[in-house]
């Protein structure tokens, strides 16, 4: 039999800039076509602990843009991902949390679940693409002095955006970001004008779009997360000097293009009334 070395140091020898990620904890919220591949990539990076929060099960139709196929259908997304990481990336502690933010009937229990998921975490990675959840999690991040990264894709996966709020570094907040998008000082990415559609047999509206287009956004989010987590590390992954990145994967007529990124600093918006200091 051929012997192989599989210790933590043997694995990190190929990614020396990421060697200190074993000491970091990341909380990932949302395990769709953006969040699920992000979790797998974070595990490959050697993150010490990843807490994953979602409430959904894997639907058959979604496997065209989800990391796992038919064998995952009918199972909780948290369990599918956790089981895979436990077997294949044992040096990463994976903590699955089945929970839908905002729908727990007991307010105290709802708060307890959120607070415990954020205890001693170094970064919140928000892949829900839900405005209300982004607002809540970004506020909790500011209160707890935790770095926050949010990412989302547009209809058809024609484009996407990533934004980061760092304690005592980023000038603006989530509400500032919304104001900048509203007045187009930060442009909104391209989107399929057809919008959402109703799949046969599905109770909810959903969007079209390929998994490989979504992966461009999720992988860029992971790059930003790793850069943020290793910012104080000597010889760590290089830092990014921007807070917001907007990508267009299609032109105005819907033609495919190479990814076109524009980056911005998240500055405080004059219309923002938020009094919380970042």
3-state SS, residue 235: coil
Instruction: Specify the pTM.
Output: 0.93
Q: Which two tokens stand for residue 136?
A: 């809540």
Half-sphere exposure of residue 202: CA atoms within 13 angstroms, side-chain side: 15
Q: Per-residue confidence at 234, pLDDT binned at 50, 70, 90?
A: confident
CA distance 70 to 227: 34
Q: Return d(Cα 113, Cα 175) in angstroms, integer.
A: 25
Mean pLDDT for the chain? 92
Q: What is the pLDDT of residue 1?
A: 85
- From residue 126, alpha-carbon distances to 4, 71, 77, 97 in Å are 36, 26, 16, 14
What percent of the chain clears pLDDT 70, i.e. is strictly above it? 94
The CATH architecture to which 19-264 belongs is: 3-Layer(aba) Sandwich (3.40)
Residue 106: per-residue pLDDT: 62
Task: List Cα–Cα distances, 47 to 19, 39, 42, 107, 213, in angstroms.
Answer: 9, 10, 6, 31, 25
Task: List, for residues 160-202, the tens digit of each pLDDT value.
Answer: 999 999 998 999 999 999 999 999 999 999 999 987 777 776 6
Report the pLDDT value the prediction gives residue 107, as an integer from 0 to 100.
56
């Amino acid at each position: 039999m051929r012997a192989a070395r599989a210790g933590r140091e043997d694995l990190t020898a190929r990614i020396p800039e990421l060697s200190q990620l074993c000491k970091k904890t990341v909380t990932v919220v949302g395990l769709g076509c953006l969040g699920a591949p992000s979790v797998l990539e974070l595990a490959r990076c050697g993150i010490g602990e990843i807490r994953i929060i979602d409430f959904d099960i894997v639907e058959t139709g979604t496997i065209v843009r989800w990391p796992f196929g038919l064998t995952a259908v009918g199972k909780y997304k948290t369990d599918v991902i956790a089981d895979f990481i436990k077997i294949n990336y044992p040096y990463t502690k994976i903590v699955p949390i089945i929970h839908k933010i905002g729908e727990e009937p007991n307010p105290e229990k709802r708060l307890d679940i959120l607070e415990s998921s954020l205890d001693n975490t170094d970064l919140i990675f928000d892949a829900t693409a839900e405005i209300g959840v982004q607002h809540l999690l970004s506020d909790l991040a500011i209160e707890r002095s935790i770095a926050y990264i949010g990412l989302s894709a547009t209809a058809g996966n024609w484009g996407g955006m990533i934004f980061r709020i760092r304690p005592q570094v980023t000038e603006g907040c989530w509400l500032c970001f919304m104001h900048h998008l509203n007045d187009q000082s930060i442009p909104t990415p391209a989107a399929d004008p057809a919008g959402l559609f109703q799949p046969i047999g599905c109770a909810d509206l959903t969007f079209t779009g390929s998994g490989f287009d979504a992966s461009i956004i999720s992988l860029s989010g992971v790059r930003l997360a790793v850069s943020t987590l290793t910012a104080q590390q000597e010889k760590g992954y290089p830092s990014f000097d921007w807070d917001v990145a907007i990508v267009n994967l299609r032109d105005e007529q819907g033609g495919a293009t190479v990814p076109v990124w524009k980056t911005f600093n998240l500055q405080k918006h004059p219309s923002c009334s938020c009094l919380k200091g970042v």
